[in-house]
Structure 1
Amino acid sequence: IERHEPEVFSRIATVFGSYDYINWRLTGERAVEQNWALEAGFVDVSTHRIDDDLVALAHIPRSAVPRKIASHEILGSVSAKTADETGLMAGTPVVGGAADMIASALGAGVAKTGDVLLKFGGSVDILIATDQIKPDPRMYLDYHLVPGLFMPNGCMSTGGSGLNWFVRNFAGGEMAAAQAEGISVHQRLDALAAERPAGADGLIILPYFLGEKTPIHDPAARGVIYGLTLSHDIGHVWRALLEAYAFAIAHHVEVLNDMGHRTERYLASDGGSSSKVWMQIVADVLQKPVQRLTGHPGSCIGAAWTAAIGVGLTDDWSGVSGFVSFADRLDPDLRKADIYRDGYRRYRDLYARLSAHGATRAGSSS
């Protein structure tokens, strides 16, 4: 904006996040929630305060960045004007709020150091609870909703969206067969993948269909299907896709461990976790048990519990675990450890070699 619309930039009065804006409209009070301030680069992590020099790097007046508040902190109450406009009760307290994935992690019971949430939605999120703050450019960093804890996290550009893209474009025959069998196309493809061997007979996929966010931060990266032969079929490709996202999770875990974080317990939530085949592959690649959640309400329960803490209905952050329901736990198949250790090495090596020659870039003729 400063470069292309300097007149607009010069009139900036307040800089804050989307839910901070909603809170301002509700209460008339300006504040910036702690994680928006942190992700914007305004917070000195050694003091946990908004730093004037960091704000100045963005050429933003310090007066434009309001006070930082915790997610559970009350910043005001619903104004009479807003009550008339919305039907909300005037005087209702409003707390800072939180990003959806952070609230979702709390709602999944990720509240102890070493707890990891694997969130299988349109993209795949990896979030860990820790009492150590260790900034690293490979991962995002947020405050945990529980005071004193932090939440390093990663987010892939795709996940379920990549699987659905494959279904739409290449699985027409399986869609028809699944309909005839009275099952979903994903269930049919999972069944085919389960019949194929671990490692998909040498097929490796880089799932960078929209570039990639963490941990490689490469928007120009592109998806790759490597090792395809006439002996491979759709079951092999589907299995290789599931394995690709499992390898990407393993990459995040490797980075977290390299940062000094212990990954102790893995919880899986959201739509993709309903695939037992996929979750078993993840367990086999990580060689760690993966606990599936059932009926997980996503960020809703985490947000509600944060509000309850804020207004004094409870002071027990661990109480949210009472709303967590577990499905089955997928234990790793030790017999597949060597296969997936080699597959992960090949997965990492493939991107390194191709990116060195620009071969994963859009429009590359390499």
Structure 2
Amino acid sequence: MNEHIDCVLGLDIGTTSTIGILIELPDRVLAKASRLVTLSSPKVGWAEENSEDWWTNVTEIIPELLERSGIQAEAIKAIGVTGMLPALVTLDQNETVIRPAIQQSDGRCGAQVAEIASEIDEAEFTQIAGNGINQQLIAAKLRWLEQNEPDNFKRIATVFGSYDFINWKLTGKKAIEQNWALEAGFVDLGTHELSDELIALGHVSRACIPDKIRSEEILGQVTHSAMQATGLCVGTPVVGGAADHIASGLAAGVTQPGDVLLKFGGSIDVLIATETASPDPRMFLDYHLIPGLFMPNGCMASGGSSLNWFADKFAAGEAEAAGKAGITLHQHLDKIAATTPPGADGVRIIPYFLGEKTPIHDTDARGIIHGLSLNHDLRHVWRAMLEGYAYALRHHVDVFEEMGHPSRRVLASDGGANSLFWMQICADVLQQPVQLLKGHPGSCLAAAWVAAIGVGLSNDWAGINRYVTYGELLQPAPETAALYDAGYRQFRETYNAQRAVREAIRGH
């Protein structure tokens, strides 16, 4: 028996998978496990998931973690859950899930966003709610349900998010975590409380929205039914939880004002720790997990997803050469692109292949290849893709500075950060050192650490850094500064020109 061990459980309700981690304080990962999640898109622009599938995954992951780690359930002193936001989960008065969860990436509610924008001044809304009027707002998703699925809308008795749903399944208690509430558009930044007026924009009763809870606040304890489903002990505390991108920032070491995280997944997240909120409609705003700090952030519509698309559709012929060299296709493309000079001999790519979220919020934007000539080949285009994303990252960092948040340290994590070639390009374009991370377990680690803080196993938010080690620190090459400064200006000007052309065509 090892009940004396201080262990905490972290769960991540992600878009593509559900992940669990068991850690022992102060610095040991005991086990990690995951299950896939099915993302459904029944119509163009839709993104839905079955929330009961998340719970099924949790009930399979927890016994696996216990078996792999060799510990008893009694050794788990607390549980934290993180997840994507703001997904929309709805329950009826019988606490039955009404329909599949509408994901944060869902694009069906453009008309409802425009409707809300016609009713309230965006600048005023942004100052009150901290975020702009965009498709992240839960009110817009609720209005879509009201107008397109009126029978489902009438049944709504509870509105909350992905990790709120799992917390409820574990404890029987309903709450909305502070960042789900903030990005949903329900919090008045002046009071940091739920606003009846903001909730009313969603045309639901105030009673449908559970109370707001802090990330580290204890929500409740594991119930008998949850124990039967998972193997956990009745009475184990469960905290409010965390938004996945904010949790990932904490796990990466973004703990001081000016710390920036570049998170390279299928899309790319850019986050900065700040002491002030400074609402700006170009960016999203969240609370930092460390009380007293904020975390303005941006999310690009694509990243690794577009690189995978390009490699599959245009570079598949290089797979044989990559295989003979014993490297992946992406590594091979990096290797051959490195033989071209910075600036890709004049080829520039605007990588808005799925439209773009922050900071331009332009769903109609599209990818552009500019400057292509007969002297160019695959190497130049791949390098231009990587440089294009680096320019887009610089745009985010520039906007942070315009908001009053200069960057002092840049960290990089997740899959794309494994490309030293790409990360060096980012350092050169940003003209800032980029610190790589090693052994970053992801958002589930921060979920576990928030739980440890919540039950008093630690009072040191930075203690999570013991689980993550630093890799290389990539220094910018000064000789590329002028070239990339010019390339960045051209990047911005090319997009602006393309948008002007689109608007002119619409005008006709």
Which ranges in structure 1 are unaligned for 5 or more consecutive residues?
A: none
Alignment partners' CA distance in 1, 2:154 and 2:328: 54
Q: Which residue of 1 aligns with 2:306?
A: 162
- Aligned residue among 178, 191, 195 for 1:51: 195
DSSP-derived class of the 1:198 partner = coil
Instruction: Give the 5 Å matches for 1:249-268.
Output: 249-268=393-412
- Aligned residue among 421, 436, 442 for 1:277: 421
- Aligned residue among 219, 226, 229 for 2:373: 229
CA displacement 1:297-356 (0-9 Å, x = unmatched) = 111221111110011101111111222211111101111101000000000000100111
- Aligned residue among 323, 344, 353 for 2:467: 323
Alignment partners' CA distance in 1, 2:151 and 2:342: 58
Q: Which residue of 2 aligns with 1:35?
A: 179
CA displacement 1:73-107 (0-9 Å, x = unmatched) = 11101111221222221111111111211111111
Alignment partners' CA distance in 1, 2:180 and 2:284: 12
Asked whether 1:110 is paired with 2:248, we answer no
Q: Which residue of 2 aligns with 1:67?
A: 211
CA shift, 1:357, in A, is 1.0
CA shift, 1:195, in A, is 1.2
Alignment partners' CA distance in 1, 2:439 and 2:458: 24
Alignment partners' CA distance in 1, 2:362 and 2:416: 24
1:141–1:153 contact (8 Å) kept in structure 2: yes
DSSP-derived class of the 1:344 partner = helix
DSSP-derived class of the 2:324 partner = helix
Equivalent pairs: percent with the same residue? Answer: 61
Asked whether 1:209 is paired with 2:209, we answer no
Alignment partners' CA distance in 1, 2:151 and 2:476: 58
CA displacement 1:185-224 (0-9 Å, x = unmatched) = 1111111121111111111101111111111111111111
CA displacement 1:115-149 (0-9 Å, x = unmatched) = 00001111111011111111111001111111111
Alignment partners' CA distance in 1, 2:409 and 2:231: 43
1:129–1:150 contact (8 Å) kept in structure 2: yes
Q: Which residue of 2 aligns with 1:240?
A: 384
Amino acid at match of 2:167: N
Alignment partners' CA distance in 1, 2:388 and 2:381: 10
Asked whether 1:93 is paired with 2:237, we answer yes
- Aligned residue among 327, 338, 342 for 1:198: 342
1:266–1:290 contact (8 Å) kept in structure 2: yes
CA shift, 1:11, in A, is 2.2
Distance 1:288 1:360, change over 3 A: farther
DSSP-derived class of the 1:293 partner = strand
Q: Which residue of 2 aligns with 1:294?
A: 438
1:354–1:360 contact (8 Å) kept in structure 2: no
Alignment partners' CA distance in 2, 1:210 and 1:232: 25
2:283–2:359 contact (8 Å) kept in structure 1: yes
Amino acid at match of 1:339: L
2:439–2:467 contact (8 Å) kept in structure 1: no
CA shift, 1:359, in A, is 8.1
Q: Which residue of 1 aligns with 2:289?
A: 145
1:43–1:54 contact (8 Å) kept in structure 2: yes
1:123–1:160 contact (8 Å) kept in structure 2: yes
Alignment partners' CA distance in 1, 2:426 and 2:150: 49
Q: Which residue of 1 aligns with 2:318?
A: 174
**Number of residue pairs matched?**
363
1:74–1:310 contact (8 Å) kept in structure 2: yes
Alignment partners' CA distance in 2, 1:293 and 1:34: 28
2:260–2:271 contact (8 Å) kept in structure 1: yes
Q: Which residue of 2 aligns with 1:183?
A: 327
Alignment partners' CA distance in 2, 1:161 and 1:359: 28
Amino acid at match of 2:297: N
Amino acid at match of 2:362: D
DSSP-derived class of the 2:298 partner = strand
1:107–1:320 contact (8 Å) kept in structure 2: yes
Q: Comparing 25-34 with 3-12, which one deviates more in the overlay? A: 3-12
1:78–1:89 contact (8 Å) kept in structure 2: yes
TM (norm. structure 2) is: 0.70
Alignment partners' CA distance in 2, 1:163 and 1:359: 28
Asked whether 1:304 is paired with 2:304, we answer no
Alignment partners' CA distance in 2, 1:172 and 1:57: 48
1:351–1:360 contact (8 Å) kept in structure 2: no
Alignment partners' CA distance in 2, 1:122 and 1:293: 18
Amino acid at match of 1:228: L
DSSP-derived class of the 2:285 partner = strand
CA displacement 1:252-281 (0-9 Å, x = unmatched) = 011110111021100001111111110110
1:222–1:360 contact (8 Å) kept in structure 2: no
Amino acid at match of 2:246: I
